[in-house]
Amino acid sequence: MIFNQQEDLLIIPDVHGRKFWRNALEEKKHKHVIFLGDYVDPYPQEEIYPSDAFQELEDIIHFARENRNTTTLLLGNHDMHYKSELFRQLAEGTRHSYMWHDKLKAIFNENKDLFQLAFEADYEDIHCLFTHAGVSSVWYEGVKEKVGELNADNLNKLLKDEDGIRAISDVGYMRGGFAKAGGILWADLDEVNGATPIKEGYQIFGHTQHRNGPTINKNIACLDCRRAFLLSEVMQLRDKED
């Protein structure tokens, strides 16, 4: 898909039961909307409860069903440990709710046709690759034989078999794991931003939470800061860094 300032892409980073996505849909003019994953497992200090997050997820799914051709839902690590038992065994995240596990597992799997791992689009002449946590060049080198050419279609195929689930379950040292680098659901910002940049596109992702605004430079945009962005806004901030 190709976007510009007149027909823009709305990017909604990690929700975790928050409601900011609702106002963004109304306030920001857009042609398409992409959620970057992590819909559930709210932060206790934000006084959002698992039941609230479940309701927000239900409403996001309803919105996606009603706007199927103009909405993309990505999966995050906090979603996959409900969706996949293998992922949970290998890479269970914090705040996983055993009380809500069965309900969340059911809703993710009943609506599995709506969810994917990656998306790509062009903004004018810049090719963009969207994932939940970003693609580390170190991780990609390790799974290149499995993935093949780095694009959204090939990354989405990782959901189809156990080897693919194992690949996206990698947790790097920076996040308390044992892999050289985290996969596209677990990579820390420093693993993506600090390594040799991938050449296959401008990376846009969430996952690494920020308190005071996003990290945007000429190679990556990490947007997990509790607000939504238009792709044109990201590109304007990127241009300031060049």
pLDDT at 67 over 80: yes
For the chain, give the mean pLDDT: 96
% helix, strand, coil for the chain, step of 5: 45, 15, 40
Q: How far apart are CA 159 and CA 66, in angstroms?
A: 24
Which of 195, 177, 199, 196 has the alpha carbon at shortest distance from 186? 177
Tokens of 110: 């009943």
Give the pLDDT mean for 104-121.
Answer: 98
Give the predicted TM-score (pTM) of the model.
0.97
- High-pLDDT (> 90) share of the chain, %: 92
Beta strand 9-12 with 71-74 is unpaired
Whether residue 238 is predicted with pLDDT greater than 70 in this model: the reply is: yes
**From start to end of 81-176, where are the E strands?**
115-116, 119-123, 126-130
pLDDT of residue 1: 86
134-185 pLDDT, tens digit per residue, is: 999 999 999 999 999 999 999 999 999 999 999 999 999 999 999 999 999 9
pLDDT in tens, 76-108: 999 999 999 999 999 999 999 999 999 999 999
